[in-house]
Amino acid sequence: EPEVTQTPSHQVTQMGQEVILRCVPISNHLYFYWYRQILGQKVEFLVSFYNNEISEKSEIFDDQFSVERPDGSNFTLKIRSTKLEDSAMYFCASSATPLLGYTFGSGTRLTVV
């Protein structure tokens, strides 16, 4: 069964450092998303991406965040200067059409120290 792949599975970084979280969506999917989940809290929408541009972003997705689809397969989330409160599980998701549910990757656990 096709799956969304995320790397790394865990990342520890120092406050103020830049991190790049990587995702390989399912190959025929056109819609891509990043969500995050702070420990014990709900899954929160960050950004959606379609046709090589951001479709929508939440208020969480400020200037410190950016997304890219550098080639035909990867979809990345960059956090320029990490803060302690960025510590969370970050999930990438993709879908062939918004009419159906997303397929989530297994997540990257980001810990900012």
Partner 1 sequence: GQNIDQPTEMTATEGAIVQINCTYQTSGFNGLFWYQQHAGEAPTFLSYNVLDGLEEKGRFSSFLSRSKGYSYLLLKELQMKDSASYLCAVRLNRDDKIIFGKGTRLHILP
Within residues 17-76, the interface with partner 1 by CB under 8 A covers 31, 33, 41-45, 48, 50, 55-56
Alpha-carbon 45 to chain mean position: 9
Strand partners, 45: 35
Name which of 20 and 96 has its Cβ closer to partner 1: 96
65 burial (CB, 10 Å; 0-12 / 13-18 / 19+) is middle
Task: Work out whether strand 10-13 and strand 108-112 pair parallel, antiparallel, or are unpaired.
Answer: parallel
Size of the site for partner 1 (CB under 8 A): 23
Shortest separation between residue 79's beta carbon and partner 1, angstroms: 20
Residues that bind partner 1 (CB under 8 A): 31, 33, 41-45, 48, 50, 55-56, 89, 91, 98-107
